[in-house]
Chains A and B, each alone.
Chain A
Amino acid sequence: MRAKIIRKEDIAGLLESLMEEYEVFAPVKRDGLVLFERISSASEVFLDYQNSLMPPKQLTFPQTETLFGYSSAKGEVKIEVPHREEKPQLIFGIRPCDASSFVVLDRVFDGEDYKDTYYLERREKTITVSMGCVKPRSTCFCSSVAGGPFSTEGSDLLLIDIGDKYIAQIVSDKGAQLLEKRRFRDATEDELASAATVVKAAEASVGPGVEMDGLKDKLDSSFDDPIWHQLTEKCLSCGICTFLCPTCHCFDIVDEAVDSNGERIRIWDSCQFPLFTLQASGLNPRPTVKERFRQRMMHKFSYFLDKYSRVGCVGCGRCITECPVNLDLRQVLNSVSRLEGVK
């Protein structure tokens, strides 16, 4: 492992120096909520958190985004693509699950046939300094979905808290370059051993989560099983699970305009809403909660595997902690896994 040592008292200085080079986003506590915000001083950063209410997904995939503006006069149409910020951005303190969600989103937006340049440009100029989870929440299930509290996927640097200092594990070239200029010392064998102990303890504390063995086959063969009705009966279709999900990528495209002058805007959408698939003819292939909830499970745990050879979930557990009716994705999937009589 290539790793450097950053003493906790040096974090503020590091952040101040990073702010000269990057737009720095970090967890900030406001009105009791921890959210990723752009900081202008290291003192704003709040690191005593388990995870932010919302993932920092909007930094590469904003909730609303102008694709282009247009104006029309005398039969001439002008189209203007908005100018995008040049300064690179750094996400400090992102959790490993959320960091790996960028890798999931890359699969969608960096497609074989089509590239989403809006997303990819932002992604390219983003650097992630993630903070491993010493104390995972009871709702975390990253270990079930090929992650872990100290997983490095999607991170450029991973910080491991070993008491009065952090081990900064170098994951990518971008991460290496960031530390190179700043002259931190190498981690000693003893420090690396302490880090390994912390990592091991955290990994052991992540709950059993979702039984992934054979889950995809069960999902595929239980599509028409009546259990979906029972499992989803209490869902309100509020969509909070999708809006807080770091990997949900569905969007709508709308025009905001006065007459023929305006903007075409991309805006997050949710597969949990009935209008999502309602056709102009009145036909809706997913008319009730059952079909919509099933779609969310199938998309993440079956279709995503078919298309991109990985699950579309990072196990952050936000859909569990924030669900107003306490509908737990782990229980839903495990119930399907345990179905008998289905292939």
Chain B
Amino acid sequence: MRIEKVVVETEDNNVKTFSLCFLNKEDEGSFTYTPGQFAEVSVLGKGEAPFGMASSPTQSGCLEFTVSKAGVVTTALHNMEAGGIVGVRGPLGNGYPVEALKGSNVVMIGGGFGFSTLRALTNFLLDDANRGSFGDVTVIYGARSPGLLLYKDELKQWQERTDLHLYLTVDVGDQEWPGRVGVVPKVTKDIAPGSENTYVVICGPPVMIKFTLPVIKELGFAPDRTLLSLEMRMKCGLGMCGRCNIGARYVCLDGPVFSLAELNQLPQEFWG
């Protein structure tokens, strides 16, 4: 795929969003995906690494991946510019169960750049053709500081919408930050979204998930309506290379989205 556009998301330049367009039109037609699914992105000469699609399938054409610079492949990707060619292998994984969410309210809780697939889900739910199928949509999204929030222009547009409750928070604010200050679990507790006929979808760093889950439980969300998107080191994405398992389930194949009810049946090995 060809890199169409690169957007620097954060003030530390460490997170960028890459818009990738298909070189062959036939591939564009056959790449159908669900929010929450991921793909292996290849940089020739460096290798491949898995990233969740940050774009929604309702936005036609190109795919977006939000990438934090951390290792060999992500650093190489960050060094690339528009016009460069990368490989994409996917879609992989199960994605968010959008059919099951129909008719329910949806609360999304995200932190850091783990927010990328929740952004995809939000855009999917807000799409004109889909919005009527879902109840109230709430997004709670936190970053360590205002400069580390992703998709700033889009967040502004979302804030103006009447069919979305958006709560932004930062761990540490600055003089210009008008919004909430506080870590995601605490802010979630303050906002206290109702759990009746509601699914909660969580994606973020393990430490955020760990402290958010007790809050969610307190708010009355059932384990089978608490959905988490997990991260593990992976290579093949096909359930063969053997490293991303939690118990007998592979994050790449059976996940990355699991309900808390499913995770409760598995060894608690994913927090590190």
Contact = CB atoms under 8 A, between A and B. Distances in A.
Interface in A279-329: 279-281, 283-287, 291, 298-299, 302-304, 306-307
B272 A287 contact: yes
Interface in A167-197: none
A304 B270 CA distance: 19
24 contacts: A77-B44, A77-B85, A108-B240, A114-B240, A224-B268, A251-B236, A251-B242, A253-B47, A253-B235, A253-B236, A255-B46, A257-B44, A259-B45, A260-B44, A261-B45, A269-B241, A271-B242, A271-B243, A279-B231, A279-B233, A280-B71, A280-B74, A287-B272, A302-B248
Interface of A: 70, 72, 75, 77, 108-109, 111, 113-114, 116, 223-224, 249-255, 257-262, 264, 269, 271, 276-281, 283-287, 291, 298-299, 302-304, 306-307
A195 B42 CA distance: 56
Contacts of A271: 242-243
A293 B232 CA distance: 18
A135 B267 CA distance: 40
Given A251-B240, A298-B267, 4 more contacts: A116-B238, A253-B235, A285-B269, A303-B245
A251 B237 CA distance: 12
Interface in B222-272: 231-233, 235-236, 238-245, 247-248, 253, 267-272
Contacts of A254: 47
Interface of B: 42, 44-49, 70-71, 74, 83, 85, 87, 205-206, 231-233, 235-236, 238-245, 247-248, 253, 267-272
Interface of B is mostly: loop
A255 B45 contact: yes
B243 A250 contact: yes
Residue of B49, B83, B238, B248 with most chain A CB atoms under a 10 A cut-off: B248
| Nearest 10 pairs of A and B residues by beta carbon | A250-B242, A280-B70, A306-B248, A257-B45, A303-B248, A260-B44, A114-B238, A280-B71, A283-B272, A255-B47
B47 A285 contact: no
B239 A111 contact: yes
Contact of A251 (B48, B49, B241): B241
Given A254-B47, A280-B71, A223 B239 contact: no
Nearest to B235: A253
Nearest to B267: A223
A249 B238 contact: no
Contacts of A306: 247-248
Given A283-B272, A285-B270, A299 B239 contact: no
Contacts of B248: 302-304, 306-307
B235 A285 contact: no
Residue of A77, A258, A302 with most chain B CB atoms under a 10 A cut-off: A77
A116 to B, nearest CB: 6
B44 A255 contact: yes
Residue of B70, B205, B238, B272 with most chain A CB atoms under a 10 A cut-off: B272
A111 B232 contact: no
B45 A253 contact: no
A260 B272 contact: no
Contacts of A255: 44-47
Given A250-B241, A277-B233, A283 B269 contact: no
B148 to A, nearest CB: 15
Contacts of B48: 253, 264
Contacts of B47: 253-255, 264
A283 B206 contact: yes
A307 B247 CA distance: 10
A302 B253 CA distance: 18
A113 B253 contact: yes
A250 to B, nearest CB: 3
Nearest to B237: A114
Contact of A70 (B44, B235, B271): B44
Contact of B45 (A262, A269, A283): A262
Given A77-B85, A260-B44, A280-B74, A252 B238 contact: no
Given A257-B44, A262-B45, A249 B235 contact: no
Contacts of B42: 264
A278 B233 contact: yes
